[in-house]
């Protein structure tokens, strides 16, 4: 069986990146299913931001991503995650999701360059208002604009990046649920975001990133009707939910106290087989895992021996 046949055979006709090389046997494939990953780490950031207390320069991002590479992590996307959840696909033994929110220019250049250096791909969640406004006028030179062009996003897609939705206007979902309990406004945000991404890229988004550290039941029910996954964002231990502040751990149903670093319990920071697909965590790089040692510890916490 050649490599392509193996891929098609092993994935029910959908060609996806190989987990096993063609030389490896089905027996080994079976064996792997019992020792697959228990915890999947997932990072998030908004591209290169060189200001603030925890700046993310291209060099710093490279330093962190190199740790994942040294430790043998392989990047996956939400298609891989979906197939794994439905037991239709094995993941690499050390999978990781590199998520990115907002279509800012550094994604196509500095961030793409760093990830590509290690053979990694990102998952980009797009809020559409800013980039659409830019395209409505004269597009500035690269160094003078905040956003990528749609062509630049198309280049990320061509290189293997995965695209998800992140609303049009980036509302605070907790506040919006109080202003509009009907859910009409959040639904309109999702419909327009999806339509714009489909029109511009030919991709119908199947995955969603909630905006800021805000969430509502109304938003989640709209998200559940349109997408496979909803992803949250960890910058501390609390979240804005339905007009009030609660612990993040409570939102995703993880027991135990928050940790000394100011974040939720360690178990709340990874994707597992039992994670609610609409309340997935992600760890902000400019937050609790900014230092190389904290980043390394986070990845170590995903390894089977410690998980």
Judge contact between 124 and 197, C-beta under 8 A. no
Least separation in angstroms between residue 211's CB and Zn ion is 5
Q: What distance in Å separates the CA atoms of residue 125 and residue 162, rounded to the nearest whole number? A: 8
Q: Which is nearer to Zn ion, 74 or 163 (CB)?
A: 163
Closest C-alpha to 211, from 253, 240, 237: 240
Position closest to Zn ion via CB: 101
Least separation in angstroms between residue 145's CB and Zn ion is 18
> By CB under 5 A, which span of 69-77, 203-211, 260-268, 289-297 interacts with Zn ion?
203-211
211 to 230, contacts with Zn ion by CB under 5 A? 211
SS3 124: strand
SS3 126: strand
Q: Which residues, 6+ apart, have CB-to-CB distance to 86 below 8 Å?
A: none
Helical packing angle, 217-226 and 184-201, nearest 10°: 40
Q: What distance in Å separates the CA atoms of residue 50 and residue 63, rounded to the nearest whole number? A: 15
CA distances (Å), origin 241, targets 101, 142, 207? 20, 38, 20
Least separation in angstroms between residue 125's CB and Zn ion is 7
- For residue 133, the tally of other CB atoms under 10 A from its CB is 10
Q: What distance in Å separates the CA atoms of residue 279 and residue 230, rounded to the nearest whole number? A: 6
Using CB under 5 A as the binding criterion, the count of chain residues that bind Zn ion stands at: 2
DSSP 213: T
Q: Which is nearer to Zn ion, 7 or 156 (CB)?
A: 156
> By CB under 5 A, which span of 80-88, 153-161, 205-213, 277-285 interacts with Zn ion?
205-213
DSSP 269: G
Least separation in angstroms between residue 263's CB and Zn ion is 19
Q: Which is nearer to Zn ion, 90 or 207 (CB)?
A: 207
CA 156 to chain centroid, in Å, comes to 15
Least separation in angstroms between residue 233's CB and Zn ion is 8
Q: Which two tokens stand for residue 268?
A: 């709340």
Closest C-alpha to 271, from 139, 137, 128, 99: 99
Q: Which is nearer to Zn ion, 106 or 211 (CB)?
A: 211
Q: Which is nearer to Zn ion, 280 or 299 (CB)?
A: 280
Q: Which secondary-structure segment (H or E) carries 85?
A: helix 78-85
DSSP 201: H
Residue span 82-111 as binding mask against Zn ion, x where in contact by CB under 5 A, dash where not: -------------------x----------
> By CB under 5 A, which span of 79-87, 190-198, 209-217, 285-293 interacts with Zn ion?
209-217
Q: Which is nearer to Zn ion, 75 or 167 (CB)?
A: 167
Q: Which is nearer to Zn ion, 56 or 91 (CB)?
A: 56
Least separation in angstroms between residue 284's CB and Zn ion is 11
Q: Is 284 in the site for Zn ion (CB under 5 A)?
A: no
Q: Which is nearer to Zn ion, 149 or 211 (CB)?
A: 211
Least separation in angstroms between residue 175's CB and Zn ion is 15
Least separation in angstroms between residue 231's CB and Zn ion is 11
Binding residues for Zn ion, rule: CB under 5 A, are: 101, 211
């Amino acid at each position: 069986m050649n490599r392509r046949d193996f891929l098609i055979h092993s994935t029910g006709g959908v060609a996806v990146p190989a987990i096993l090389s063609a030389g490896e046997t089905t027996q080994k494939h079976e064996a792997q299913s019992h020792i697959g990953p228990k915890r999947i780490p997932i990072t998030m950031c908004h591209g290169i931001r060189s200001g603030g207390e925890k700046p993310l320069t291209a060099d710093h991002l490279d330093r962190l991503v190199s740790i994942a590479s040294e430790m043998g992590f392989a990047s996956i996307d939400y298609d891989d995650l979906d197939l794994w959840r439905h037991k239709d696909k094995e993941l690499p033994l050390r999978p990781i999701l590199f998520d990115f929110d907002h279509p800012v220019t550094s994604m196509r250049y500095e961030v793409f360059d760093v990830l590509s250096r290690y053979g990694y791909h990102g998952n980009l969640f797009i809020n559409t208002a800013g980039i659409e406004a830019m395209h409505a006028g004269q597009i500035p030179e690269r160094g003078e604009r905040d956003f990528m062009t749609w062509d630049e996003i198309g280049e990320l897609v061509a290189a293997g990046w995965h695209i998800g939705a992140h609303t049009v206007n980036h509302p605070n979902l907790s506040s919006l649920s109080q202003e509009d309990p009907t859910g009409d406004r959040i639904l309109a945000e999702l419909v327009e975001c999806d339509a714009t991404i489909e029109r511009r890229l030919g991709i119908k988004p199947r995955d969603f990133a909630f905006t800021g550290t805000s969430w509502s039941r109304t938003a989640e029910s709209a998200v559940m009707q349109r997408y496979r996954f909803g992803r949250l964002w960890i910058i501390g231990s609390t979240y804005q939910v339905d007009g009030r502040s609660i612990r993040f751990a409570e939102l995703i149903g993880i027991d135990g106290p928050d940790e000394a670093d100011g974040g939720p319990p360690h178990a709340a920071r990874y994707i597992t087989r039992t994670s609610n697909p609409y309340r997935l965590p992600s760890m902000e790089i400019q937050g609790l895992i900014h230092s190389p040692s904290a980043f390394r510890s986070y990845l170590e916490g995903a390894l089977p021996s410690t998980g």
